[in-house]
Structure 1
Amino acid sequence: MDLATHYATGPAEDDRLARTPHGRLEYLRTQELLRRHLRGHERVLDVGGGTGVHAAWLAAEGHPVHLVDVVPAHVDRAAAVPGVTASVGDARGLDAADASYDVVLLLGPLYHLVEAADRTRALAEARRVLRPGGLLAAAGISRYLSLLEAGAAGTLSADRADPVREVIETGAYDGHAGFVRTHWHTATELDDEVAAAGFADTTVFGVEGPAWPALDAAGIAEYPHLAESALRAARIVERDPHLIDASAHLLAFARRPA
């Protein structure tokens, strides 16, 4: 199944970050980390921004946001968000002028680009459209997500063990737990790819921290009681080299050299 078909026919993208406890944690931590790095009201290009989940709050806080996505239905939804403009496009070939944005978000494209050469192209395009000194925020899925999710849920069956090992060893996720074929990162790999694309001062954070599988195991009804503790845990080890890859998602920040 191609990417556009998956998102057009699969679960609604609008509420992806609200359906599960770890999705809610991902949303809060992504907001927290972005706010930590943003400076004033900056021009934001949200590449692969879906229906505008993050574009909506960024625009509400005064950032002019243009969203690009490969799924036309997503673009239509995002274009209706106050303060957001949107267009169909591809991270590997952006329809934007050189140095035209203060911030570029790649919160989805890198894991959907399974070939390293395509991820390199997307990062090069992000660098091209950023002004000197501009901020990149690029997300990856951790190679350990499937292991931790299935292990905590009791679904790590014998026939799933080999695909789980494969994604840990290579980053090649075959869709064994749902979702489409994707590339999953380690923190070191994400750091290396961003730096190799010519960005400076790269820093990678673990987004959800190590407690997210416990949140999902407890269920959505318990989330309000457990969320603050999970948030604290995520903050404590957000850059700990021993636990960063225990997050479900990784978020790299870097700047285009001045």
Structure 2
Amino acid sequence: MSCLHATMLPAPTSRDPWKDLYSSDDFVRYYAGKTLLQRPEQVILDHLAGALHGADVLDLGVGGGRTTPHLARRCRRYVGVDYAAPMVEACRKRFAALSLERDVRFEVAEARELPFAQASFDVVVFSFNGLDVVDRIDRLRALAECRRVLRPGGLFVHSSHNLNWTERRRAIGWSGWRATWEAWRFWSMVRRLNADRWPFHGESLMELIDDERGARTCYVRPGAHLAQLQASGFTPVEAFDLEGRRAADAAALGRLSDPWIYYLCRG
């Protein structure tokens, strides 16, 4: 199916609680100190080492620049984008020296309405579930924009929250009791904030409140997400759990209960 262009969708919603949070001083300071990749991110980047060489890369939802060192030094041109202006300013300061050495820049922009020409990038990265902080309509807009700016045959790397997790409560894939406890505490908060709709059996996508201040996040069944990708013009290639293991097939993917899943697609 051809890509659903953004202009065919309703205009983006005006108020965004997540944007307010990510523009706050506390969030900027927290994310500006991040550098570590998650296991599936490292697996995917190692797999794409050859494809990144000489590529033009768009890094959406760049935040404080967690993924920048891992991408910008491997590609020909790197553009980091975030819709929170304070995050972009933090990146410009943090990577000022790198920007003088290489073709690296940062811009304020919405994933739902990217200011780039069609087929501008070889690789688009949208990690850390940035796709999920918009509603279900704007989610389609963001996917359409990612496809529009990607060159034919280009690669789209992203992650998305897994609705299966709300029922199975698997701990986030990092070792230690603290990670297990924090995952359980977060799951308990999500259940409490959405008690009027819990459980979600039979639903394929839910916009859940997962912050005390009312911010909402999309949680999607893997099969439903694959359908959205295909409808937006992407061909899913591989999916990875939080331990960096590939799902063998669509059935195995549908059984995953990780809080979020990483996807590698081709445009």
Report if aligned partners of 1:111, 1:141 keep a CA contact under 8 Å in 2. yes
Q: Secondary structure at the match of 1:95?
A: coil
| TM-score normalised per structure 1 | 0.73
Aligned to 1:113: 134
- Equivalent residue, structure 2, for 1:213: none
Q: 1:127 to 1:158 in 2, by over 3 A?
A: closer
Other structure's SS at 1:49 match:
coil
Give the letter for the 1:207 counterpart. Answer: D
Report deviation, 1:178.
8.2
Q: Please state if 1:250 is matched with 2:261.
A: yes
| DSSP 3-state at the match of 1:246 | coil
User: In 2, are the aligned partners of 1:166 and 1:172 still within 8 Å (CA)?
Assistant: no
Decide whether the 8 Å contact of 2:40 with 2:240 is kept in 1: no
TM norm structure 2? 0.70
Percent of matched pairs sharing the same residue: 23
Residue by residue over 1:180-219, the C-alpha shift from the partner in whole angstroms, topping out at 9 and shown as x without a partner, is: 310012221221111110122x13423314xxxxxxxxxx
SS class of match (1:182): strand
Which residue in 1 is equivalent to 2:41?
A: 30
- Paired with 1:86 and 1:136, the residues of 2 have a C-alpha distance of 19
Gaps of 5+ in 1: 18-23, 210-233
Q: Say how many residue pairs are matched.
A: 223
Deviates more, 1:166-175 or 1:130-139: 166-175
The aligned counterpart of 1:45 is 58
Partner in structure 1 of residue 194 of structure 2: 163
3-state SS of paired residue (1:184): strand
CA pair 160-194 structure 1, distance change in 2 beyond 3 A:
closer
Instruction: Decide whether aligned partners of structure 1 residues 172 and 96 sit closer, same or farther in structure 2, where only a CA change above 3 A counts.
Output: same
1:42 counterpart letter in structure 2: A
1:14 pairs with 2:36: no
Q: Residues of 2 paired with 1:177 and 1:6: CA distance?
A: 12
Counterpart code for 1:118: D
Distance in 2, matches of 1:159 and 1:125, equals 30
Measure how far apart 1:245 and its partner are: 2.5
Please say if 1:99 is aligned against 2:119.
yes
Show structure 2 runs of 5+ residues with no match.
1-15, 173-178
